[in-house]
Every structure is written in structure tokens, then in C-alpha cells.
Structure 1
């Protein structure tokens, strides 16, 4: 499903001169604020934004002559109950750029207002309680907590940021985790700048207008008029994040800006938004991207050793992939560009995503394989704009190798990834394939394998009330990848099994064996001898036992009455359970869960469970399938009901009766 958005091109708007933007007064809570107990937008809200206001304008730095965005933000929030106290914890991101410039926050004012003895009492934030969290070399977070929070508190804060990058101007999010009664954003765009503005999400603006703001900017002694663009939205429901979704920014109602072109005073026009042909030329010529893809010379002396046991193209690609995974350890930084160079990454055995996967492209090309780079945006970063090239939308790069009519997507940053399977963070809509000799093109990013888990249990119920038997689990795709990563983090198989045993208090693991841990193209096999204490005594006439003790679903991941964004699993899913349980002689199956066979519409999935009893033995089987990687909002209620019925089925016990 494509993200809904409306694209506008903002030019100077001709009309009457506009007044300056009108903010609301700080520190003046009123009777309406006090009497606000809940809102019709969301009667279960724990807090609500009463009013939110922001402005942004482009200015010129007198010290260095560079342009920046002057952004001002002001908000007033009512805390309705204790569950809303977390709204007093504020985090403001500030970006650091490659040219050593960084965003700067100033003019912070923050206070809490409580109604005590018939009047509002104000408690101001102590500026010494504002902290900076250096989240990464590119991101700093300003953090503070509003003081003296109680149920019914009104919190208010305002600040100003000088943003050193004007390309994206400001992103204004109308939706957040709590409802908003009123949100207004005003952008002042100088006539020499043209921006593309995209309005995302399913909510509509309550009001939108354009005016002229005279002489809003002065450049080289010349006054420049601005378009004053006002965007207002009222009665905004919260955006509720739920399981199986990509970046919330894909679906929240918000306005995004991207610089299209700049008309300089000397008449020269600088087109920022380019065609893909222009972008291809820039990327292939960039020393940190195309320049690294061309470095086949780096592998001239290495390949004979790497490929000594490879006799066809597929095995060559697998050998090179394994070599890069072992030779360069991911330093934790993403990026589509090489940070230093692939040569340095190989020498130091460390690099970012660009270093690793551009090295992989170069090595595959050096082996005369058809290799390309694929730029993409990770699931947390959001979906890229497909209407025109925006290189800043992409935060990752992987390799694509084409062999015998089949294409394989490769990411060598994770040593436990099998050949041809991308990490789940990369399964996000489409990527742009960059080839040194051909035009770039879009390519769908899909999981190459189903996420499969299969369980078999063969056991017996003894007279002491314990079930003993053998449980074997087969995992493929992301299930296998996740378990291999857990084993790696646990430092040993024994420690992994010990933690697993702790997580299952009703089951004891007596013996274990794990196979194919390093054979990434094969299923991960876990073989456990287990013991379960089911009954304290076996002399009662009737016993209740739940056969759904393996891969039991206890909570529905879908609880909204309506979901306006897709359910994105990244990969189709399949789970199978087979249980063979022998009983002591003299017992009968008095009652059991009814067999179930339900399906989602249009072949979207199915669930089956069956139980039979013969010769003192219970045979139980269960099949769960989700056949799509993505389900649309229109399919949500069916999916919700599907899980609800499964949960109800798995609550049902079978009843064993002792023969007289």
C-alpha cells in the first residue's frame, strides 16, 4: 500500500500583504483549560494537546552568510491522569552535519501550572535540568522534564531552533501519541526558494491559505518577499502505533518539505530536485559511492584465494559474500556512502553499511559477476518519495547480484544472514538499483524466504503427573536468524538453553542439542528432552489438560477498532505443531476442543487444529499460516477476528477421564 500524500509546489503567492504570525500567549491557562476533563476525539486519552503553534522562516547568518531555518515551537498540554505523566518528559532532536555545523536550540521557556486554592500556581523549569544526550555523531537530544506534575496539570513550553540544513525546511507532525484540539503551522518561504510540500496521512487540513509577507528577508542589500503558508488542523485523533508496522512517519498526518530549486539574484537558477538521470551521474561519479563500486583493483590479489573452491557463478558469489562478512565488521553506522573507503575498511576490518556493501559490489564485479548497488530506506526511516529523486530519503545500501536469470539481494553486515536474505530492517517497499553502466531503476524489496517454524513433540504422561518427551524445533528464514542471533549474544549454546529454560517455568529442559548453527542455508534444528509437571496427582476421576502448550497465542496483536495503515509482517509466516502424547492405560478422552478450520479472505491465511484419540494416544496437530507479507487496512478487521478466534480456541482444555 502506498502512503497517501498530496504534493504541492510552493511559489510566491500574490495577494494582500499579510500580518506577522500570531502565537498564543505563554503562561495564561484559562477556565476552559481547567475544565477540560476528556475529549470527544479520544475519551480514553491520558493527556491532550490544547493548542500547538509553530513558525519557520529562512534567514541568513550574518557571520558566515549561510542560510538557515529559524524554527519556533510552542505547545500547551493538559495532563488528564497519572498515565499521562510521561508527556512531561520532553526530547528535542538536534542534528549534526558533516561540515561541523549543528542545529542550535535557544529561548527555551517551560513551566507547569497547577490549580491550587482557586488560582493557577506556576512552577518554572530549572534550566540546569536540561541535558544533552549525544545519541550518535549525527544526532544530539535535548532532554528535560517539566516539574511538579500532578493529575490535571497544564504544561507549556516554547523554544527556538536554528536549523543549519534548509533542504527539508521543517517537518510538522499533526498527529502524535495523544490527541490535539488545535495545531497550526506557518511557513515563510522567500520568493527565491521553491519547495515541494507533501501532506501525508489520511486526515484533512481544517484550513490552508497563502498570503504575502513583505520584505521578510534581506540579501545583498535587496529585500525579498515571502509566501506565508498557513496550515491548520483541528480535533486531531492520536496516532496509535501497533504491532507489525514500518516507520510511523509513513502514516502520521504531517507536512513534509523538500527544496526544489533556488533562483539566485544574479539570474542563475539552481535546480535541487533533479531527474534520476542527473542523480545517476552524480552517484556513479561520487568517490564515496560509484568510486567505491569501481574499486575492483582492491580484490585483484584476494580473489584467487577466495574463489579457489568455487566452480560456478553462484558458488563464487557465495564465497565472496562469506569473505566480506568475515573481513569487515559493521561499526553500527548506517549510510549509503562509504565513510572512508572500502580499502581502509578491509585494512581495519571495520566499516559502516556503505563500506561493507559497496565493497561487496566491487568484489562481485571483480569476479566478473553482474553486480549492482541498491539504495533503500530502512523500515524505521520511512518510505522513499517515488515521485522525484530525494537522495536524503535513502539511508542504506545493499548489493544485488544477477546470476542465471535470478537476482539475489545481499547485505554482508550481519554474519548470521544466509545468502540472499536481507535483514528485516531492509524489507521496505522499493529500492533504487544503481548500475555503473545503465540507468537506475526501482526494485521491489521482498523477503526471499517464508518465516517458518515447525515443532514436533513425542512424549508420555506418567503416573506421577509429569509429561516427559522430546521436542524438536525446525526454524527457517527470520525465525532461524533471530534464534542464531540470540545464541550469539548468549555467548554459548548452554547459556542460551539456560535462559530459554528460565523463560518457561512450567517446562524443564533435561538435555539439548542444536544443529546447523553455522550452516546458514539450512534450517536451525533444536532438539530438547523436556519434562512438564501437569498434575499433582493421578488418582482423580477427571483431569484438564491444554494441548496448546507449544507456540501458544495469548494476546491479540491487533486491538484497534480501525487501523489506517497496513499490517506489514515483512515476510509470509507459517507455523506447524505436531504432538503425539501417550497416556497411562485406563484413561479416556471425555471432552476435547472442537476441530477448527478457518481462513482469511482471498487466500490470506488459514488456521487448522485437529485432535484424535486412539490406543491410549492423543494425536494433535496445528497449522497457522499468514500467506501475505502485507495486509491492507481494509483487511485489518478480518485479521483481528482471525487472531481472536485462534486465542479462544487455544484456551480450550481437553478432559481426561479415568476408567472405573
Structure 2
């Protein structure tokens, strides 16, 4: 470290027009910055951020590329803010071309007792991590961090991905005081530009930039598009949401068309009929679906116990699930052909589901491929075809006027229920001989859990009885997955027992573990340590010990994006406990029957004592898979009421006392 008075200016000010800011030229206000009104609890804040992207011509290789420059200055406000100093830059690969980083520099500025010091990043501490075969992550951590550090880094990125001009995200997980972006768009290119998210631009400007690009000696003018956004609140992720990229405020660019060297207009934004032809003819997509003959020798054994199209479809679905295991990669294109996948019993998700479509068609069952975007990948553009939006393929089976969506890459998923990752807006159905069409991706079953406890309170203070749990839909899928992850059912039960200190599982039975279309049923003989003994009076008993809600998943003052549960959900708890003689119900949790507007859901809680039997019932029900931002405060209030009532006890007293 060394003094940098000669590098740093205490009197530099933020300019009002769009331009990059000087590297390491911090102001006294930057050094003294402590918090922002945007988020008083912020752990770090972006003081200034600048980026620019332009199309360039590579004379060495004779091709166009995107030249992207990025520069950011961040103030670390406390130790939790150190997380913002862990920098990850994704680098995408397209075919044999990949993005590369150049001119990377990174520095940490500390200001202690009036002394400024600088620590530069050791380039040897930059490392790469291969996320998958399409994405590599460049990672580094800023050095010499303390509370109050300013970190600053910049780099130039060389990208061959002309189709997707560089997206600029104004919003991140920390607040930003100033973010600006300049896009230099050559006159030869026409991009669809869209601003998404709840935040508005502070300013934007378009001007002509003469001769910004030269191709084969020809000078080309550009549109210089400048976008500025100030005082940007952080984007806070909460439970029950799809990809954050769907909702963060950002500028997106997508190439629509361009002018070729001979002056002809070449459309990039194709019509769906063009995409249909491309996919149906593709050797890794449509050609795989057409390989029906692969399954002709297999069908007699697969279908030997079937009598109708639905039972045949279920048998084929089961066969594919158990004979081709997913290798960890997803996509819409077959990785190694479905023939290879059948031989090696492994493949990516496209190998599996394209094989499923081919096998169903081989059995004369109407099946089509559906391409979609998973929840973490973001929503697809339904206005015009963008094939790069899609990252997954499933099967759609049509039998007797009813359609079933299938993903055979999940062995524990019942017929007709998609994994939650696939429940994301709409998918595009790609028939082999008809035009493609949109289809809603919805859960075919409600996520349901029902608990039923019947027991008797003994003089030793223990409730002995039977706890039966029924799980349906995603609740059953998640439970089966946890059971299968254990080495045995006994080990699963042992871990379950350990997680409930007041409940001892004496005996267990689990039904329908392999019968995926039936409710998963768990039957446990239990001993519940409700009281040390019943010789004292009164007795306090909290009935909310089964799947208790301990925190509110909704804590924002306002949520600008939907609450997406994926499916309708229902949870019921019923208890029937025989009490010793002469006990009365002195007090109980407040009886509640709270409904969400528009019959969107409800919470019900009742307690009674009838003929010496304590009866308790609870219901939490959400009748919609998705709730809009305007319904957020109602959900937040519902959970607040639930948490409050679950803090209260049932009070039992002996008669005559």
C-alpha cells in the first residue's frame, strides 16, 4: 500500500452528462459516504457505474464482435458488504467462439485517519470456473477489505454474440446512486430495445455518431443511445419468485434485422414458421423425434400389460424414466442422439424427452415436443420468436381430448405433473407436421399435505397416538425425494425423529413410495412429550407443533413482482386427543377464518372440547398459483396473523379448581 494523494482528487464532482468517470479519482464525498436514503440498511452501495457497448470489426479475423466496457465504484459500508467484493463475470460460449476479458484492473481504496491507501488486485488471484459447456465464470475477490473501503474495477469484454447486444442491468442487490449506459448501434443493424422492471429512466438520449464503424473500407454511422438511471433501490429477492432477471430494471437489445454488404435486408427476427422448419429439420431435434423405429422392437415388452392409450402412455413414460438417466445437462437439443442415450442409459434432458416423444409416436400415441424456459432462466418473449430464450424441452401427450405434460428426466414425478422448474409462463409446442403454438405451463395437481393426529393424553404427560400424513402433488414429490436420498426408510425416519425433539417415533409405515400417482402416506406411532406430568393445574399446550409457521416469507413494504407459488396449495392439520377425566377448556387460540380477496385463499383455525376429546383443526389454503404485486400486502398480513395466533396456547383446567 502507498499514499495516493497525487492520484486521488478530493474535489472531483459527478458530471451531469453521459461519460465514463476517471479511474481512482474519488471525491471527499465518496470517502466520507456512510449510508443512503435508498436503503438505510444497505451493506454496500454503487456510487457510480458506467458501461458502453459497440459493434466493432476485427481486422485479423474478418468478423464483427461486441466491444463492451464496464467500470464501477462501490462503497463497502460494513462487513456484510464484503460480499459485494466477490466479483463474478460470466463468459458465454457460442459454437467455437467464446467471450474474453481484456484490460482488467481492480483496486481497493482505504481511507483511515486522513490517510488514503491503495491495494491493487494481484492478477494471479483471478481464477476461472466452468459452470457448464456454455458458460465459464471469471472470479476474483477485491483485496485488503475493511469497513468503509471503496472498491473499483473495470474491464473490456470481447463478445462474438452479435445477436444479443449487451443487456444492461440498472438494478442489482445493492442500491445504486448513478448508473449509465451507452449503446453504439451501427446503422446497418436494427435492434428491438426494451426497458423492463419497475424503475424508470432518469434520462435517455439519442444522437448520430458519424463513421463509428468501418467495414472493408466503408464508413458506417451509428446511433449513440445513452440511458441514465439514478437513485436506484436494490432489488430484493424473496421466496416464491421466478428468475430475478424477469423483474430487475434493465435495458434489453435483440437484433431484428441488418443490411448485408450488397444492400439487402436480412431479417433475424424470424416468424414462427421459420423456427418450426428449422427445429423439425434439425438433426438434434426433429430428426430425433422421427426415430420411431428405434422403439418398435421394444414396444411389445413395454406395452404387454396395457389395454388403452392412456395405460400405454404411462408404460412408455415409466420405461423412459427408468432407462435413461439425466447426466446433469439441460437443453432443447439432443446431446448425443436418442439412440446413444438408449444404449448408454444416460443423456441430457432433451435426449430423454425427445426419446419419450419418439417412443409415444411409435406406439401410435399423439405426442409433441414442447420447448420452454425454466423458472431460473426467465420468461420467453411471446411477441416474436427468439430461440435462445428456450433452454428445456418436454413432451405433450394428447389422449381422448385431454393433454398431459411430461418430463421423463425426473424418475419420481407422476404422470402428468411437470417439475416445478418447468412451470413458467408458456411453452411452444413444436408438432412435426403442423404449425407450432403456445401452450400454458401449469401444474396439474394441487400441492396438498394433510396431517391427522389421533391420540390420548396419559397421566405421564405424554400424548400417545398415531400421526398420519398424506402428501399429494409437489408435496409428495419432495417427500419422496428426501426419502430416496436417505440410504433407507429407517434412516429417513431416524433423521425425522431427530428433527422433532418433543416427538418420539415408536413405529413407522410408509405406503405408496413407488406408486407415484397415489398419495404418499406416512403412518407413525408417536409419543409426544406435551407436559412433564399432569399433576399441576392449569395445563398449557400449544397445538401448532406440526409444520409451524415461524417466519413471514413476505417482509417488503412493497413488492414489484408477482408471488409465484407454482401451484395451488393446501395444508390441513386435524387433531383429536382424548383427555383425562374432569378437564375443561379454559382458553384457546383465537378462532380465525381469514380470507384473501377474490377467494384467493384462506386460513382457518378452530379448537373445541367435546365429550372429553380435544379437537383442533387448521387449514391454510392458496387457491391461485400466482398472486400479483397488488395482492402482496394481503398475503403479508395473512402470514402475520398466522404467526401471531400460533404463539398462543390451549389452556386446560381441572373442573372444580
Whether these two folds match at TM > 0.5 is yes
Paired position in structure 2 for 1:47: 44
2-structure distance, mates of 1:165, 1:297? 38
**Which residue matches 1:4?**
none
Q: The residue matched to 2:94 in structure 1 has which SS?
A: coil
Q: Match for residue 231 of structure 2?
A: 235
Q: Write the deviation string for residues 373-422 of structure 1: whole angstroms up to 9, x where unpaired.
A: 11100000000011100000000010001111100000000111100000
Asked if 2 retains the 8 angstrom alpha-carbon contact of 1:565 and 1:633, the reply is yes
Q: Report what 2:25 is aligned to.
A: 28
Match of 2:382 in 1: 386
Q: Secondary structure at the match of 1:551?
A: coil
1:91, distance to aligned residue in structure 2 (A): 0.8
Partner residue, 1:142: 138
Question: Which residue of structure 2 aligns with residue 66 of structure 1?
Answer: 63
Secondary structure of 1:136's aligned partner: coil
Q: How far apart, in 2, do the equivalents of 1:342 and 1:368 lie? A: 19
Q: What do residues 444-491 of structure 1 show as CA deviations (whole Å, max 9, x unaligned)?
A: 110000000000001122222222221000000000000111111113
Is structure 2 residue 494 aligned with structure 1 residue 498? yes
Distance, in Å, in 2 between the alignment partners of 1:314 and 1:656 is 55
In structure 1, the residue matched to 2:204 is 208
Counterpart of 1:649 in structure 2 is: 645
Runs of 4+ in structure 1 deviating by more than 3 angstroms, as ranges, are none
Q: What CA distance in whole angstroms lies between the structure 1 residues aligned with 2:50 and 2:388?
A: 27
Query: Which residue matches 1:262?
Result: 258
Matched residue, 2:399: 403
What's the offset of the Cα at 1:96?
2.3
The CA deviation string for residues 12-52 of structure 1, in whole angstroms up to 9 with x for no partner, is xxxxxxxx973100112211112322111112211110000
Counterparts of 1:21 and 1:167, CA distance in 2: 25
Match of 2:369 among 336, 360, 373: 373
SS at match of 2:635: helix
Give CA deviations for 1:332-379 in whole Å, capped at 9, x if unaligned: 111011112111111111111111111111111111111111110000
The counterpart of 2:85, out of the listed 77, 83, 88, is 88
TM-score of the superposed pair, with normalisation by structure 1 = 0.95
Q: Retained in 1: the 8 A contact 2:354–2:395? A: yes
Q: Deviations over 1:115-146 (max 9, x none)?
A: 12313211111111111111222211111111
Q: Which residue is equivalent to 2:286?
A: 290
Q: What secondary structure is seen at the aligned counterpart in 2 of 1:83?
A: helix
Partner residue, 1:194? 190
Which residue of 1 is the match for residue 246 of structure 2? Answer: 250
**SS in structure 1 opposite 2:653?**
strand
Offset, 1:66: 2.2
The yes-or-no answer on 1:225 pairing with 2:218 is: no
Alignment of 1:555-566 (within 5 A): 555-566=551-562
The equivalent position to 1:640 in structure 2, one of 636, 648, 653, is 636
Unaligned runs of 5+ in 1: 1-19
Counterpart of 1:624?
Answer: 620
What does residue 567 of structure 2 align with?
571
Q: CA contact under 8 A between 1:21 and 1:55: conserved in structure 2?
A: no
Q: SS where residue 75 of structure 1 aligns?
A: strand
Q: Which runs of 5+ in 2 are unaligned?
A: 1-16
Aligned counterpart for 1:304 among listed residues 300, 304, 322: 300
Asked if structure 1 preserves the Cα contact closer than 8 Å seen for 2:86 and 2:139, the reply is yes
Alignment of 1:353-368 (within 5 A): 353-368=349-364
| CA deviation after TM superposition for structure 1 residue 588, in Å | 2.2
Higher relative contact order (CA 8 A, sep 6+): 1
Offset from partner CA, 1:58-115 (integer Å, 9 cap, x none): 122233222211111000011112221211111111112332x211112111111111
Aligned residue for 1:545? 541
Structure 2 Cα separation of the partners of residues 289 and 572 of structure 1: 33
Distance in 2 between residues matched to 1:368 and 1:578, nearest whole Å: 47
- What is the CA RMSD across the aligned residues, in angstroms? 1.3
1:216-260 deviations in Å (ceiling 9; x for gaps): 222112122211111110110110000100000111100111111
In structure 1, the residue matched to 2:10 is none
SS of the aligned residue for 1:25 comes to coil
How many positions carry a matched residue from both structures?
640
